[in-house]
């Protein structure tokens, strides 16, 4: 193996998706020297690069913005904060137009530029160019493996591996932004193959807490045997059972519950024959990848029926993630910030998924605030290059015993077997959660005791440890939330409990502990 690549930066951003690139740009614009390390190729990796993200786009009219916030609060089940919503709407409105020159925004028939909806591939290519023009150094195909800590517990950078070069890297920095995305639990969600919860594990090992991890029950319809989870077309869907009888499943966002129940009973087919002709004509331009799986299989979805499934999205369009304790998305670890799907979205989404628009606005805004906060922190503390640091990573890196590790493939199969089935994760019961937790806890102990090798397997084991850890946090939260609230369904607790109208925050890795509920971090009156 080559000698470790040693680098320094004021701010290190982990993750090169939408939140990571906005964080890097914001930090660089604040005067910081920035390095961005991406698990894939920055500009093509992550869920945004395969999507057509809209944004929470509300004109600066007090009545319109108040109505938009009230509408979202009505679906948040008491867990969101209107002040955070307001500042996200404002920052999104201010920031998206600054991409002009990097992204070719279209105009409507009246000549008005349309900023709200973007095409993911072009969006992420624009973000990469913008980051490079701001002086950001990008390390592609360079997943982080662990954070570096100073003796006082502050973050001082990270270590990782450059896969294509077969070379380890280490970056010493004054602050770190974790923007590694969420955890999709290997569900084959489109664009989420790198979303394995790595940032959750790294940050938790350093002392960060997690919040809302019980809200991991978002599922998206897709043609079976494909990863095409672009769901807009299914607003016009008609569903059938194997015998060809039409199923009473309403089209649109409210269909998931009924579709999940139907799938538990047997095979479900779909037809898009009700899609209007004008939408069919626009679809290849809006979402050019949607029709590809049908073309490859020789299916005309407007005249033929095709089998469908539901793919779990975990915390990608779920809600949970690293807890933030200030208006600049800082975690409880000095120098460590969180953005995008790596951070909890409860402050703006509550107990219901933000879908595409709210989530994209959150990625943009939290990336900005985290990048700016990290730059400020780095200016105040500097890069303590002479101080000793210690790697915080343990599971999958530093085994506690010399015992032989369990089969890697078997552990990953266990994660999907416990975290994806509808009758375990979507329709939850206390007994089922405890049974799954027992298996996940056993897998965690096996990884902690014995998994830790060099080379490519080291990265796979680290990724697998993060998957198991994320599953344990998710189901511990689901067990503790003994009620049904938003996307969290408990068949044995079907009602909402007023006593649980607060966020569930847990910290710790081997033996997670619950944090006493605290007040929501209050943002400043004006957007940062």
Q: Is 444 exposed, middle or buried (0-12, 13-18, 19+ CB in 10 A)?
A: buried
- The CATH code of the domain at 5-216+316-391 is 3.50.50.60
What is the per-residue pLDDT for 525? 46
- Report the C-alpha gap between 361 and 359 in whole angstroms: 5
Alpha-carbon dihedral sign for residues 217, 220, 221, 227: negative
Quick check: 307 pLDDT over 60?
yes
What is the per-residue pLDDT for 458? 86
- Report the C-alpha gap between 181 and 177 in whole angstroms: 12
Distance of CA 374 to the CA centre of its chain: 20
Give the residue-averaged pLDDT of 7-36: 98
What is the per-residue pLDDT for 527? 37
Instruction: Tell me how crowded residue 467 is: count the other CB atoms within 10 A of its CB.
Output: 29
Residue 311 C-beta-side C-alpha neighbours within 13 Å:
26
Dihedrals phi, psi of 20, to nearest 5 degrees? -65, -45
Listed in sequence order, the residues at least 6 apart from 127 whose beta carbon sits closer than 8 Å to its beta carbon are 18, 21, 22, 25, 43, 102
CB 452 within 8 A of CB 396: yes
Quick check: 95 pLDDT over 90?
yes
Quick check: 330 pLDDT over 80?
yes
What is the per-residue pLDDT for 149? 98
Which part of the chain has CATH 1.20.58.100? 408-495
What is the per-residue pLDDT for 451? 75
What is the per-residue pLDDT for 526? 40
Task: Name the token pair of 21.
Answer: 């690139």
As a whole number of Å, the CA-based R_g of the chain is: 22
Whole-number percent of the chain with pLDDT over 70: 96
Predicted confidence (pLDDT) per residue in 482-519, tens digit = 999 999 999 999 999 999 999 999 999 999 999 876 45
> Residue 378: beta bridge partners?
none
Give the residue-averaged pLDDT of 69-92: 96
- Report the C-alpha gap between 435 and 458 in whole angstroms: 29
Listed in sequence order, the residues at least 6 apart from 497 whose beta carbon sits closer than 8 Å to its beta carbon are 482, 483, 485
- Report the C-alpha gap between 438 and 424 in whole angstroms: 13
Q: How confident is the model at residue 522 (pLDDT cuts 50, 70, 90)?
A: low
Which residue has tokens 């008005």?
A: 112
What is the per-residue pLDDT for 336? 98
Q: Which helix H or strand E contains 90, and what residues bound it?
A: helix 82-95
- Report the C-alpha gap between 143 and 169 in whole angstroms: 9
Closest Cα to residue 19, out of 52, 46, 54?
Answer: 46
Whole-number percent of the chain with pLDDT over 90: 83
What is the per-residue pLDDT for 456? 60
Give the residue-averaged pLDDT of 174-182: 97
pTM across the whole model: 0.95
Dihedrals phi, psi of 87, to nearest 5 degrees? -70, -30
What is the per-residue pLDDT for 403? 87
What is the per-residue pLDDT for 53? 87
- How is the chain split among helix, strand and coil, in percent rounded to 5? 40, 20, 45
Quick check: 397 pLDDT over 80?
yes
Quick check: 428 pLDDT over 80?
yes
Instruction: Tell me how crowded residue 282 is: count the other CB atoms within 10 A of its CB.
Output: 11
CB 290 within 8 A of CB 230: yes
Which part of the chain has CATH 3.50.50.60? 5-216+316-391
Task: Name the token pair of 223.
Answer: 């043609």
CB 358 within 8 A of CB 58: no
Quick check: 62 pLDDT over 50?
yes
CB 15 within 8 A of CB 115: no
Q: What angle do CA 134, 160, 177 make, to 5 degrees?
A: 45
Predicted confidence (pLDDT) per residue in 440-467, tens digit = 999 999 999 987 766 568 899 999 999 9
Q: How confident is the model at residue 51 (pLDDT cuts 50, 70, 90)?
A: confident
Quick check: 118 pLDDT over 60?
yes
What is the per-residue pLDDT for 251? 79
Q: How confident is the model at residue 361 (pLDDT cuts 50, 70, 90)?
A: very high
- Report the C-alpha gap between 327 and 316 in whole angstroms: 22
Task: Name the token pair of 337.
Answer: 């910030």
> Residue 220: beta bridge partners?
311
Buried b (16+ CB within 10 A) or exposed e, 40-76: bebbbbbbbbbbbbbbbbbeeeeeebeebbeebbeeb
Mean pLDDT of the chain: 93
Q: For the CA atoms of 181, 183, 189, 190, what is the dihedral angle to 10 degrees?
A: 10
408-495: which CATH architecture? Up-down Bundle (1.20)
Helix (H, G, I), strand (E, B) or coil at 241: strand
Across 77-86, 161-170, 351-360, 518-527, least confident range: 518-527
Predicted confidence (pLDDT) per residue in 210-262, tens digit = 999 999 999 999 999 999 988 888 999 999 999 999 999 987 667 899 999 99
Which residue has tokens 């089209």?
A: 251
């Amino acid at each position: 193996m080559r000698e470790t690549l040693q680098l320094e930066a004021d701010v290190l951003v982990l993750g090169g998706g939408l939140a990571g690139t906005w964080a890097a740009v914001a930090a660089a614009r604040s005067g910081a020297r920035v390095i961005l390390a991406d698990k894939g190729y920055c500009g093509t990796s992550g869920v945004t690069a395969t999507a057509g993200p809209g944004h929470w786009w509300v004109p600066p009219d007090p009545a319109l913005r108040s109505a938009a916030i009230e509408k979202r609060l009505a679906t948040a089940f008491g867990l969101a904060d209107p002040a955070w919503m307001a500042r996200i709407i404002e920052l999104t409105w201010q920031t998206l137009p600054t991409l002009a020159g990097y992204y070719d925004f279209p105009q409507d028939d009246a000549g008005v530029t349309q900023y709200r909806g973007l095409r993911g591939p072009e969006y992420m290519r624009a973000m990469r160019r913008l980051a490079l023009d701001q002086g950001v150094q990008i390390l592609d195909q360079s997943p982080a493996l662990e954070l570096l800590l100073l003796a006082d517990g502050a973050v001082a950078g990270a270590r990782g591996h450059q896969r294509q070069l077969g070379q380890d890297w280490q970056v010493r920095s004054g602050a770190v932004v974790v923007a590694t995305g969420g955890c999709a639990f290997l569900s084959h969600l489109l664009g989420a193959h790198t979303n394995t919860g790595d940032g959750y594990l790294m940050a938790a090992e350093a002392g960060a807490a997690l919040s809302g991890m019980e809200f991991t029950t978002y599922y998206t319809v897709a043609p079976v045997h494909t990863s095409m989870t672009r769901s807009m077309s299914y607003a016009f869907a008609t569903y059938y059972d194997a015998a060809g009888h039409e199923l009473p499943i309403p089209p649109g966002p409210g269909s998931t519950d009924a579709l999940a129940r139907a799938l538990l009973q047997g095979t479900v087919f779909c037809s898009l024959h009700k899609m209007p002709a004008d939408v069919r004509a626009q679809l290849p331009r809006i979402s050019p990848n949607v029709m590809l799986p049908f073309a490859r299989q020789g299916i005309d979805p407007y005249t033929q029926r095709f089998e469908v499934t539901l793919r779990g999205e975990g915390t990608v369009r779920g809600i949970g993630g690293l807890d933030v304790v200030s208006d600049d998305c800082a975690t409880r670890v000095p120098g460590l910030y969180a953005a995008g799907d790596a951070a909890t979205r409860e402050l703006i989404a509550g107990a219901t998924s933000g879908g595409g628009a709210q989530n994209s606005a959150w990625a943009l805004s939290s990336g900005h605030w985290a990048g700016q906060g990290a730059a400020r922190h780095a200016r105040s503390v500097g890069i303590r290059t002479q101080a000793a640091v210690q790697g915080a990573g343990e599971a999958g890196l530093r085994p506690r015993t010399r015992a032989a590790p369990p089969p890697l493939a078997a552990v990953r199969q266990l994660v999907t077997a416990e975290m994806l089935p509808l009758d375990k994760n979507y329709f939850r019961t206390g007994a089922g959660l405890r049974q799954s937790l027992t298996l996940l806890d056993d897998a965690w102990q096996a990884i902690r005791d014995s998994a830790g090798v060099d080379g490519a397997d080291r990265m796979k084991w680290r990724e697998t440890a993060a998957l198991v850890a994320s599953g344990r946090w998710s189901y511990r939260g689901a067990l503790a939330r003994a009620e049904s609230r938003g996307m969290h369904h408990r068949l044995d607790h079907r009602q909402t409990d007023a006593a649980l109208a607060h966020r569930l925050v847990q910290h710790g890795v081997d033996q997670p502990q619950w944090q006493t509920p605290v007040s929501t971090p209050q943002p400043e009156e004006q957007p940062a």
